[in-house]
Amino acid sequence: MKPLKTLSAWLEKFEGIVLSLALLFMIGLGFLQVILRNFWDTGIEWGDPIVRAMVIWVGFIGASIATHQKSHIQLDLVSKFLPEKAKKFAGIVAHFGSAAVCLLLADAAYKFMVMERESQTLLIDGVPNWIVIVIIPVSFLIMTARFFIHGLDDVVRLFKPEKEGAA
């Protein structure tokens, strides 16, 4: 279990770097487009499609990081009314259920990516659209693994509670 958590933490650091660079590039390119259009009545032909592609990458990498940090969107209404043991069980069900949903979405995203590759659509000249879409199945697979790890961690904590005074 520890090697999986270590790998997930390392991956989160890498994702954070990629996310920061992508966000910086996206904002810079968008700003440059606005300046070029407003002051010189021109723009970078491939600028808008690249910014749209970067939005997809930033969104999915951000979702993956949020899953690692357990700061993703949660519906917490039910747990307010449950006793402590039931809350833990609900967390297990939620994490494994989320892993299953992410796995199904990864499969659907992979099939979509394959269709895009076969159709040979281009984002811009020389850049196939499927390269942009590859982040979708990859991020769903990473989120699947992370939800699964969270679920396993919850199971371990359910049957082996932490000792008092342990950090």
> Domain segments of the chain: what residues?
2-159
CB atoms within 10 A of CB 46: 15
Tell me the pLDDT band of 83, cut-offs 50, 70 and 90. confident
**Which residues are CB-contacts of 140 (< 8 A; sequence separation ≥ 6)?**
102, 103, 105, 106, 109
* β partners of residue 122: 128
Q: Could you tell me the pTM of the whole model?
A: 0.83
Tell me the pLDDT band of 162, cut-offs 50, 70 and 90. low
Report the SS3 class of residue 55.
helix
Report the SS3 class of residue 44.
coil
